[in-house]
């Protein structure tokens, strides 16, 4: 399995392209591309490497993680998947973009389906399990690949920090409880790929994350 990281949009969001090299299937996690150059960068990578886009997944539906959903649907015909509890956030994308001074004026891309606790996504030889981690947003999820020992944590867990909980639908208590019960119990060697900033490991967060 190969993981390609792109840093997109003014909020410096991590967009991940996950590739199963045996099948050449790929998945985009948190499509944050906003500008034409960013859109072309990821599309060219997929096309130039002969990859088949199989899934577009949003760990949550804050605007910086889903700017590129519409572009991926228009280009590859794949609609995004996310937790239903965040779907309402799509209605406010343009308004939120205006508040941040971000030039996003298109209609948000509707979801193509929902992801719930315990669901699995199969990408070639790879299997990803969905864990529901509300707290940063009501519909926050993470994707865990036990075979590869990797976790895509969205904005729930960062290196030595956690996601903010002061936005609508946020809950500090919920986030801490879910991270403690579902994420910090994963193997220490698990590599965490967050929605912003550098990678980390479960072991590192157990030792150095003051929130956990």
In order of their start, the domains of the chain are: 2-208 (3.60.15.10)
pLDDT of residue 168: 87
pLDDT of residue 96: 84
Distances (CA, A) of 19 to 51, 125, 143, 157: 8, 10, 14, 23
Task: Pick left, alpha or beta for residue 121 (phi over 0 → left; psi -120 to 50 → alpha; otherwise beta).
Answer: beta
pLDDT of residue 86: 97
Q: Please state the separation of Cα 81 from the chain's center in Å.
A: 10
pLDDT along the chain (212 residues), means of 10: 97 98 98 97 98 98 97 98 97 83 89 98 98 98 98 98 94 98 98 98 98 96
């Amino acid at each position: 399995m190969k993981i390609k990281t792109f840093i997109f949009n003014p909020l410096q969001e991590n967009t991940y392209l996950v590739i199963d090299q045996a099948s050449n299937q790929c998945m985009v996690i948190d499509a944050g591309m906003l500008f034409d150059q960013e859109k072309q960068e990821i599309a060219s990578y997929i096309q130039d490497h002969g990859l088949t886009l199989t899934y577009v997944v949003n760990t949550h539906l804050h605007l910086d993680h889903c700017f590129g959903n519409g572009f991926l649907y228009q280009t590859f015909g794949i609609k995004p998947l996310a937790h239903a509890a965040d779907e309402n956030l799509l209605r406010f994308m343009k308004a939120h973009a205006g508040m941040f001074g971000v030039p996003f004026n298109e209609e948000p891309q509707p979801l193509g389906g929902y992801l719930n606790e315990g669901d699995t996504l199969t990408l070639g030889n790879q299997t990803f399990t969905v864990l529901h981690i509300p707290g940063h947003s009501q519909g926050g999820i993470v994707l865990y690949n036990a075979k590869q020992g990797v976790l895509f944590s969205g904005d729930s867990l960062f290196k030595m920090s956690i996601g903010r909980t002061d936005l609508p639908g946020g809950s500090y208590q919920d986030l801490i409880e879910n991270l403690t019960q579902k994420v910090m119990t994963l193997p220490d060697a698990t590599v965490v790929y967050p929605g912003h900033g550098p990678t980390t490991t479960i072991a590192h967060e157990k030792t150095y994350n003051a929130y956990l």
